Structures are given as C-alpha cells and as structure tokens.
Chains A and B, each alone.
Chain A
Amino acid sequence: MKVRVLFFASVADAAGTRSLDAELGNRATVADLRRKLEKDRPRLAGRLGKCAAAVNTVVVSPARALADGDEVAFLPPVSGGAE
C-alpha cells in the first residue's frame, strides 16, 4: 500500500521535504512507517518518536494500522516564544 507522509516544523527540515509517498507492506502500522522513514532518511533518526502522528488529521497511537491512501502527518512539539 501507499501512504502520503507530511512533515512539520523541524522534522520537515530534517527530512528535507514537507511531504513524500511511502510504500508499505499490508497491515503496516504507524510505528512501522516511522521505522522505515528513519531508516531511509538517517537525519530523521530518533526524531519521529518524539512527534505526534496524525492519520487523516486525527492524532493516533503508534500501533494504529494504516490503510492504502492514508495521509500520515508527523508533528513535533514546537516550543519557542520566550527566549
């Protein structure tokens, strides 16, 4: 199956793109997608685990199973403001 991946804020910079398409095996989960992305793009290593993951704009747990055509967004906590 194929899913659309969106990156936000610092993970977009680390990924070098704001979006990409990822090919996954059937019954893959959000955690599987995360592992694949971190392997394919070493600069993402260790970053996606700190992100909230949203499937079709709803935040989900890493165990959530994906379906063909899903849109998965990785959103890091953004601080900033004070310093």
Chain B
Amino acid sequence: MMGFTEDQIHRYARHLVLREIGGVGQRKLLDARVLIVGAGGLGCPAALYLAAAGAGRISIADHDAVAVENLQRQILYGSADVGRPKAETAAAALRRNNPDVIVEPLAVRVTAAGARALVKGRSLVVEGTDDPETKFAVNDACVAEGVPFVIGGVVRWSGQLMAVLPGKTACYRCVFENPPVTPAETCEAAGVLGPAAGAVGTLMAVEACKILLGKGEPLAGRMRVIDFLAGTSRDIAWKRRPGCPACGAAK
C-alpha cells in the first residue's frame, strides 16, 4: 500500500482509516520537513504529537538546558534530564516514540540573522518560544521564504495561537507591529498552568497537520484566544495590513 512498511501500516492505522488522511495524507506527513522552534511548554507537546503522527523529518531548535522548573509542563523531559541540552534530549524522546521519524536537534537560539537559512525548504514551522524577538524573526523568515507556520503563546491561564499562510493570510507582524520594548510577560515571572501549555501546543500540532495535509480550514487570518480560567475562547480575525514591513510587499 503506497510503499508503506508493515510497521507503518499498523503504526498509522488510525490515520489511514481517516477520510481526510488515508494513504495519500500519511505519505504527505511522512514526506514533511518540519522545524520546531523552542522545545518548551508548547514545543514539547507539539513535537511529540507531530513525531507520533509520522511527520517524517523534524528539526527541533532550542539553545537551553533542561531546568527543574521546566518539568511541570515540558513533558518530553524527566527529572534525570535536568541540566541536559533540551534540543538533544527532546530529539531522543521523539525518536523513542517513533523511530520512523528522522529527528535533528539544533542547539541554537533562532535570531533574525539565522532564521531565514533555518526555515528555508521546510514544509512547515512551529514557533513556540517565549522570546518575542524569535517570534518576529520566525515570522519574517517564513514570510520571506513562503513557508507556512503556526505560532502560539501561553501565560498564566491564557493562550493564543494562529497559523500564517505567507502571501495569503495576515502575518504576526500584521497584528503586533514590533516586539514590545519591555519584554512581554514571561511564564517565569507570571506563572503558567502546565496543561494550558499542553493544550495550546497540542492545538498547534492539530493546525500543523491540517496545513501539511491541505485539509480543513486552517486557523489562519484569525487568532484563537483562549481563557482557560473562564473557560472561554474567541477568534479574532485579522486582515493583512497594507504597510506591514514583513508581508505588505510580499509577492
């Protein structure tokens, strides 16, 4: 069946029976080249679900080491991993889940200078860092290279996520013009509910699958804003901003 191994037919059986995936869709997932920026509270669940789903090549970028304070929500790591580099430790956890996936750890901080080379040629990028500069760098690089991406954030009991289809839908910079002068509120200072990060990271993986498969209505051109404490969510639509420095002049 479409060149799948016996193992793959069993491993992805629940995908293969889904009308929106089937053999054609699973092949798309297996052929995908995904970059995950940030192996933290959002990147861990997003990466684990994408690896389990058989997203064929996953690069995971993080320059940090595992700290004990991370374990409350960064579920690729255990107590024994404290002090180890996140990218490599995350990669090992992904391979353990699914040896079918080629995982590349990247121990780098993604900055404006290096982002474009990193996103070039990817099928999709998932941005889940808590670094506003990285968020804008990934946005600008993906828009320039025409790579779709999913971007999200979570703090306290609030989360937000959206997808960007470059040239088609509004980008992150269409909504938030620039990184805030004072750093955005971080989880370190403000706290975060572990499962709230898990929920947002998992929703990001859902959007990533939809885009890779070309199925459904991606959460693009709108941002989903979730208040887990109130138990509410809302979609805010955004149009491309004509003067947007990232995508305003996009071809």
Residues of A within 8 A of B (CB): 8-10, 12-13, 18, 50, 52, 54, 57-59, 61, 73, 75-83
Contact = CB atoms under 8 A, between A and B. Distances in A.
Q: Is the interface of B mostly helix, strand, loop or mixed?
A: mixed
B130 A80 contact: yes
Nearest to A56: B237
Contacts of B152: 81
A79 B40 contact: no
B153 A81 contact: yes
Nearest to A14: B185
B202 interface: no
Contacts of B158: 8-10, 12, 78
21 contacts: A9-B155, A9-B158, A9-B185, A12-B158, A58-B238, A59-B170, A59-B239, A61-B241, A73-B236, A75-B223, A76-B184, A78-B153, A79-B131, A79-B135, A80-B155, A80-B197, A81-B40, A81-B42, A81-B154, A82-B64, A83-B188
Contacts of B23: none
Contact of B39 (A8, A61, A82): A82
A79 B132 contact: yes
Nearest to B176: A77
Interface residues of B, number: 50
B62 interface: yes
Interface of B: 38-43, 62, 64, 70, 128-132, 135, 152-156, 158-160, 170, 174-176, 180-181, 184-188, 190, 192, 197, 200-201, 223, 225, 227, 230, 234-239, 241
Contacts of B64: 82-83
B129 A82 contact: yes
B197 to A, nearest CB: 7
Contact of A79 (B153, B230, B236): B153
A61 B244 CA distance: 12
A78 B155 contact: yes
Given A8-B158, A78-B153, A81-B129, 19 more contacts: A8-B227, A9-B155, A9-B156, A10-B156, A10-B190, A58-B237, A59-B174, A59-B236, A77-B180, A78-B184, A79-B131, A79-B135, A80-B192, A82-B39, A82-B43, A82-B62, A82-B64, A83-B70, A83-B188
Contact of B186 (A18, A75, A79): A79
Contacts of B238: 52, 54, 58-59
Contacts of A77: 132, 135, 153, 176, 180, 184
Given A80-B130, A82-B129, A83-B187, A75 B40 contact: no
Nearest to A81: B42
Contacts of A82: 38-43, 62, 64, 128-131
B67 to A, nearest CB: 8
Nearest to A8: B225
B230 A18 contact: yes
Contact of B129 (A9, A76, A79): A79
A58 B238 CA distance: 6
Contact of A10 (B70, B185, B200): B185
